[in-house]
Amino acid sequence: MTTPTSLVQEFTRLYGPGDNQVRTFFAPGRVNLIGELIDYNGGLVMPAAIALGITAVCRARSDRIVRLCSLDDPVAVEIDLNRPIEPDRARGWGNYPAGVVHELLLRGFDLVGADVLFTTMLPQGAGLSSSAAMEVLTAFSFLALADAPLSDLKGMALLCQKVENQFVGVNCGIMDQFAVALCRQDHALLLNCDSQDFTHIPVALGAYALVIMNTSRQRRLAESKYNERRAECDAVLQLLGTDAPHNGLVHAQWSDVLSHVADPVLQRRARHVITEHKRVKEASQMLATGDLAAFGKLLDESHTSLRDDYEVTGPYLDAIVSAAQQAPGCLGARMTGAGFAGCAIALVKQADMPAFTASVRSAYLTATGLEPSFYETRAVDGVHETTGEA
Q: Other CB atoms closer than 10 Å to residue 311's CB: what's the count?
A: 16
CA 19 to chain centre: 36
Residues in contact with ligand GLA, shown as a per-residue x/- string from 321 to 350 under the rule CB under 6 A:
----------------xx------------
| DSSP tag of 167 | I
CB closer to ligand GLA, 172 vs 360: 172
* Helix pair 264-289, 292-308: axis angle to 10 deg: 170
Residue among 102 and 272 whose Cβ is closer to ligand GLA: 272
Q: Which residues contact 106 (CB under 8 A, 6 or more apart)?
A: none
Q: Which of residues 10-39 bind ligand GLA (CB under 6 A)?
A: 32, 36-37, 39
CB 142, min distance to ligand GLA, A: 22
Q: CA–CA separation, 128 vs 135, rounded Å? A: 14
- Minimum distance from CB of 289 to ligand GLA (Å)? 25
Residue nearer to ligand GLA on the CB measure, 116 or 383:
383
Q: Fill in the per-residue mask, 118 to 157: x = in contact with ligand GLA (CB under 6 A), - = not in contact.
A: ----------------------------------------
Measured from the CB atom, is 32 or 357 closer to ligand GLA?
Answer: 32
Nearer to ligand GLA, 103 or 135 (CB): 135
Counting residues that bind ligand GLA (by CB under 6 A) gives: 11
Strands (E), the chain: 22-32, 44-45, 47-60, 65-70, 73-80, 114-120, 187-192, 198-202, 208-214, 330-335, 343-349, 373-377, 384-385
Q: Considering the complex, what minimum distance in angstroms separates the CB of residue 177 from ligand GLA?
A: 8
The nearer residue to ligand GLA, 117 or 175, going by C-beta atoms, is 175
Is residue 37 a contact partner of residue 334, using CB atoms and an 8 Å limit? no
Question: Least separation, in Å, of the C-beta of 9 and ligand GLA?
Answer: 34
Report DSSP state, residue 369. S
DSSP symbols for 56-110:
EEEEE-SSSEEEEEETTEEEEEEEETTS-----GGGGGGHHHHHHHHHHHHTT--
User: Could you say which of 115, 176, 309, 318 is catalytic?
Assistant: 176
User: CB of 321: closest distance to ligand GLA in angstroms?
Assistant: 16
Q: Has 176 been annotated as catalytic? A: yes
Instruction: Give every strand in the sheet of 330-335, ordered side by side.
Output: 330-335, 343-349, 208-214, 373-377
Please report whether residue 41 would count as binding ligand GLA according to CB under 6 A: no
C-alpha to C-alpha distance for 222 and 227, rounded to whole angstroms:
8
Is-contact 334 345, C-beta < 8 A?
yes
Q: What mask, x for binding ligand GLA by CB under 6 A, covers residues 168 to 207?
A: ----xx-xx-------------------------------
Please tell me what DSSP assigns to residue 205.
-
The 10 Å Cβ neighbour count of residue 360 is 29
Provide the minimum distance between the beta carbon of 386 and ligand GLA in the complex, in angstroms, as a whole number: 25
Give the active site residues. Answer: 176
Residue numbers at the binding site for ligand GLA (CB under 6 A): 32, 36-37, 39-40, 172-173, 175-176, 337-338
